[in-house]
Copies of this chain bind each other. A is one copy, B any other.
Amino acid sequence: MRYLLTFSYDGTLFFGYQKQNGKRSVQEEVESVLSKINNEKTVISASGRTDRGVHALNQKAHFDSPKTFDLDRLRHSMNKMLPPDIFIKNIENVSDTFHARFDVVKKEYVYKINVGEYNPLDRNYVYQYNWKLDVDKMRDAIKYFVGTHNFKSVTKTITEEKDYVRTIYDASIEFDNNIITITFSGSGFMRYMVRNMVGLLIAVGESKIEPSDISSILDKENRIFAKKTAPSEGLYLKNVYY
């Protein structure tokens, strides 16, 4: 049987989603619990990784088991055994051909920036920029990301992607109580892509570049024309759609 997990986690105390030797990862914590319940080594396949410090509100991963679980019971057992910074929100049965990564049709990411005073209570959950940004300009700029583009300029400098073309379906900015919330939904996101897009939006908000520069920077298909990568703590994987 193939099962699909929907889970949230606080990325603060993980070295990232993906298993790494000797370092605390979300994948390892979930696999360790499932392996105990399953009585055999159980591997999970997620919709994608998240980097160190990045949070997830609804990450998805599938796993296989010869057992037929009562889904509610399994969820409760897992939550009892998991550390407090991971929470299984839902478990469902899926077909044996379903794949949590390859079947993704849309992903949604959120990025939060505090443009007010430094807030020690939010320091791991909202980027503490703590300076004014021109939100109207950022709203103009974000439109240039929407659509199908080669996003090589906004990926990690060294990546192993074969194809840098992705489609951003929707991108928007909300501004409330000194917190800028940026939402992107798209066909897929490469490593550092959201954080580099946010880095460009911040450069626009600082009036270091103009909104229309986004377009030419994407056209250059070269990371050196982009700006700083926004830090990980402001980033949330919000939803994955199949």
Contact = CB atoms under 8 A, between A and B. Distances in A.
Contact of A123 (B79, B84, B119): B84
Given A79-B118, A118-B79, A123 B89 contact: no
A236 to B, nearest CB: 8
A114 B210 CA distance: 42
A184 interface: no
A119 B85 contact: no
A63 interface: no
A87 B118 contact: yes
Interface of A: 8-10, 55, 57, 79, 84-87, 89, 117-121, 123, 125
Contacts of A118: 79, 87
Instruction: State the main secondary structure of chain A at its contact with B.
Output: mixed
A120 B82 CA distance: 11
A118 B86 CA distance: 10
Contact of A120 (B84, B117, B121, B123): B84
Nearest to A86: B120
B120 A85 contact: yes
Contact of A87 (B57, B84, B85, B119): B119
A175 to B, nearest CB: 19
Contacts of A84: 120, 123
B10 A121 contact: yes
A3 to B, nearest CB: 19
Nearest to A9: B120
A55 B118 CA distance: 15
Contacts of A85: 120, 123
A87 B121 CA distance: 10
